[in-house]
Structures are given as C-alpha cells and as structure tokens.
Amino acid sequence: MDEIRTRDPIAVFQAWLAEAEVVELNDPSAMCLATVDADGRPSARMLLLKGVDERGFAFYTNLDSRKAAELAANPVAALCFHWKSLRRQVRVEGPVERVSDADADAYFATRARPSQIGAWASDQSSPLDSRAMLEAKATEIEMRFDGRYIPRPPNWSGFRVKPQAIEFWKDGAHRLHDRILFRRTATGWETERLYP
C-alpha cells in the first residue's frame, strides 16, 4: 500500500469504492456512522453513503432523528466502511456540517418515489405503536401526492463529514495487515504507516 501514501485520500477512497461496487453483493456504500450525544455517550448505526468528493462524505436523514440530534449537540462523527470480500476497511473522522438545501433537494429528487413517500411518513427515531400505523401514514402521504411531484420534507436533509483523518486498512497474511493513515494539515495531507 505504499503507492497510496503519495495520492489524494479521496481519490484512493473513490477507487476502493468503485472496486467494492463490482464485487460486494449488497450495499457497497454501506457505512457505520458513529456519533456522540451531548453527555458523551456514543451510538452507531449503518447508513448508505450518498456522495463523496473533496468536500467530504455525505449522507441524508430525518432531522428529527437521534443521529441528527446528536450531530446538532456534538458536530463530529466517525465513519467505517468494511468490504469483506475485498478484505479492506476505511475509517473516516472529522467535523460534520449540514449540506446545502440545493444539495438536499437534488438528492431527494433522485430517490425512488416510494422512498420519498417513506421520508414523509416516518417520524424517525420516535416511538411507533404498530407497523400498521406506519403503513397507514405512508398510504395517506401517497394519496396526498397522487400524480404530483413530491417535494423534500422540511425536516429531511443531509450531513457531510469533512475528513480530518482517513485510514486505509488492507488484510495481510498472519495478521500483518497494512494500515495507512492520512491526516489533514494546514498545507494538505500527511501520511504515516501504522502497526496493524
């Protein structure tokens, strides 16, 4: 992995993700998002990456969800991607910012209509009396927007993790794995190799 030490870590990540999209059977963009609440208690959950570029790693959610509340209280996060078939992992850490309304609108417009309805129907992270209640609410939303454009809900948007550290891990024989850590500095990215 020495060859990646001289490259842009975002470009390396994009190349690894492209490889994963070929061989991973389910959700190659799946990632674990770890957040911390105002009292310092961590929580983690699986999400799908919805964009990565020089600005960072973007994902979308209900702004009333637990994760959004934790990011409002403590706007830092960690991500972990694991591609078992490739025997690779990438960890990302950094501050988090909300995406622009234009970015959120553009992404929402690409979602399948049933997913758009689901975004309106779900009071994410709130108690739910029954599955039937959720399905009834989804049916109500579907009827409300029957034959019409579905706008982005006002409580639905995205966040972007602005990486300060990106670590690439590759499986090695006899647990002698390869680890390369990129750290952002005022002048660019610095790299170092880590013990496995």
Say if residues 96 and 75 touch (Cβ distance below 8 Å): yes
Q: What is the CATH number of domain 2-108+155-193?
A: 2.30.110.10
Domain segments of the chain: what residues? 2-108+155-193
The total number of residues written for the chain in this structure: 196
Q: pLDDT (tens digit, 0 to 9) for every residue of the chain, 196 residues total? A: 666 766 899 999 999 999 999 999 889 999 999 999 999 999 999 999 999 999 999 999 999 999 999 999 999 999 999 999 999 999 999 999 999 999 999 999 999 999 999 999 999 989 999 999 999 999 999 999 999 999 999 999 999 999 999 999 999 888 889 999 999 999 999 999 999 9
Distance CA 45, CA 43 (A): 7
CA 134 to chain centre: 25
Can you give the pLDDT at residue 2?
63
Looking at the DSSP assignment, which residues form a beta bridge with residue 167? 91, 181
- Rounded to 10 deg, the angle between the 113-121 and 131-144 helix axes is 120
Which tokens sit at 74? 């403590």
Can you give the pLDDT at residue 175?
86
Can you give the pLDDT at residue 1?
64
List active site positions.
175
Can you give the pLDDT at residue 67?
97
Q: Which sign does the torsion angle of CA 144, 151, 51, 17 carry?
A: positive
Can you give the pLDDT at residue 8?
93
